[in-house]
Amino acid sequence: MDTLSIIKPDDWHLHLRDSPYLQKILVHSANQFARAIIMPNLTPPVRNSNDAESYRQRILSALPQGSNFQPLMTLYLTDNTSLDDIHQAAESNSIVGLKLYPAGATTNSDAGVTDLKKMYPVFDAMQQRNLVLQVHGESNKKEVDIFDREKVFIEDSLDPVRRQFPELRIVFEHITTADAVDYVSSENSHLAATITPHHLLINRNDLFTGGIRPHHYCLPVAKREQHRLALITAATKGKANFFAGTDSAPHARNKKESSCGCAGIYSAFSAIELYAEAFEISQNFSNFEAFMSLNGPTFYQLPVNQDKITIQKSCWTLPTTLNYVDDELIPFKAGQTLQWRLIENA
Ligand code: NCD
Ligand code: ZN
């Protein structure tokens, strides 16, 4: 098999930042995907329907001419999110969900939720209005070992929310552990998970090969090899509640290569090819289309795309740097060779 055509994929977790960076990076996602869920962690965050609509307009105006790329908007949950905010979001045609960042858990999460229990009335309204809760699933307790934060979050936060709101549709974003795979697999169709290309392709050793590797640092941080293998199995097995979400999160080179480097990996430039690389490891593409293009729309209750894309087995080399306004952006796998290339995108 050296070419493969599938229904055009969507990116179910994407950071597009804002002007002027937005203008530099949007083209990469628009070249690859039909739609993307746009994360709301701007400064200040996207907190209500008005913020989301003006951000959506900025995204649409930054699109290359002729692009049909569709941004699907999310709101950032804070301690002050009101029931009115939820009802207005439910009335909007462009907002699909609300993102829960435990305060301090990741980049631009300081305005996030400090006490999950206090959000229960908001979750109740979201459940009633059929809005999706997207979750950054890591404990924000500083005393919890960074490699255990996802597992602890499942036990002390996610599972209690699932039990209290069984009809609330939740996406456990960018999962990194076998524990998360097992938990999501054991639940029903109201819980799904996104998996990033980088968590399928690197483990925690890759953060330290020959020295510290800031461009492999993201949150949740990559885990042991056994966890990466569990993610590969989850992605390739075709189960409906796992789908692609890149968590492509650009940071300027000088912010990554620093004494306190930012968390975030930029994969949007070659996201589909990176996922293909991961499926190549398992030598089984039979569920590639399900993972990339079918499971996401089914969970989000959106139509499956009409267009098709084609990838071809042919080696190519990623650029070493990309332009990022007054700095550079280092794409994931910069300067390395990939085996699959996107050759047709309707
Ligand atoms: C993201 C970012 O930079 O916005 N960083 C990351 O490491 N993934 C935030 C997030 O999704 O956690
Ligand atoms: Zn993210």
The model's pLDDT over 190-247, given as tens digits with 9 standing for 90+, comes to 999 999 999 999 999 999 999 999 999 999 999 999 999 999 999 999 999 999 999 9
DSSP β-bridge partners for residue 37 = 72
C-alpha 41 – ligand 2 centre gap (Å): 8
Per-residue pLDDT tens digits for 240-279: 999 999 999 999 999 999 999 999 999 999 999 999 999 9
- Residue closest by Cα to atom 5 of ligand 1: 264
**What share of the chain has pLDDT > 90, as a percent?**
97
Per-residue pLDDT tens digits for 149-181: 999 999 999 999 999 999 999 999 999 999 999
C-alpha 24 – ligand 1 centre gap (Å): 18
Rounded to whole angstroms, the Cα distance separating 159 from 157 reads 6
Cis check: omega of the bond before 20, within 30 degrees of 0: yes
Note whether 210 and 157 are within 8 A (CB). no
The reported pLDDT for the residue numbered 346 is 67
Q: Report in angstroms the alpha-carbon separations of 17 from 46, 92, 159, 229.
A: 11, 22, 31, 31
Neighbours of 186 (CB within 10 A): 8
Burial 282-299 (b: 16+ CB within 10 A, else e): beebebbbbbbbbbbbeb
Active site residues: 247
DSSP β-bridge partners for residue 244 = 195
The closest alpha carbon to 73, from 13, 30, 128, 163, belongs to 13
Quote the pTM value: 0.98
DSSP β-bridge partners for residue 324 = 327
* Pocket residue to mutate for ligand 1, from 247, 251, 267, most atoms within 8 A of Cβ: 247
Tell me the pLDDT band of 303, cut-offs 50, 70 and 90: very high
Per-residue pLDDT tens digits for 72-110: 999 999 999 999 999 999 999 999 999 999 999 988 899
Give yes or no for residue 25 having a pLDDT over 80: yes
Atom of ligand 1 nearest to the CA of 219: 7
Q: Is 244 in the pocket of ligand 1 (CB under 6 A)?
A: no
The reported pLDDT for the residue numbered 112 is 96
The reported pLDDT for the residue numbered 328 is 98
C-alpha 71 – ligand 2 centre gap (Å): 15
* Paired tokens of 282: 């398992």
Instruction: Provide the sign of the torsion angle of the four alpha carbons 246, 251, 252, 256, taken in this order.
Output: negative
Neighbours of 314 (CB within 10 A): 12
Residue entry with tokens 């999962």? 175
Q: Is 116 in the pocket of ligand 1 (CB under 6 A)?
A: no
Q: Is 203 in the pocket of ligand 1 (CB under 6 A)?
A: no
The reported pLDDT for the residue numbered 344 is 87
Give yes or no for residue 1 having a pLDDT over 80: no
C-alpha 313 – ligand 1 centre gap (Å): 31
Q: What is the mean pLDDT of the chain?
A: 97
Compute, in degrees rounded to 10, the torsion defined by CA atoms 266, 319, 227, 207: -80
* Pocket residue to mutate for ligand 1, from 15, 99, 251, most atoms within 8 A of Cβ: 15
The closest alpha carbon to 317, from 247, 269, 265, belongs to 269
Ligand nearest to the CA of 221: 1
Note whether 96 and 300 are within 8 A (CB). yes
* Pocket residue to mutate for ligand 1, from 11, 13, 16, 41, most atoms within 8 A of Cβ: 41
Average pLDDT over residues 297-316: 98
The CATH code that applies to domain 10-304 is 3.20.20.140
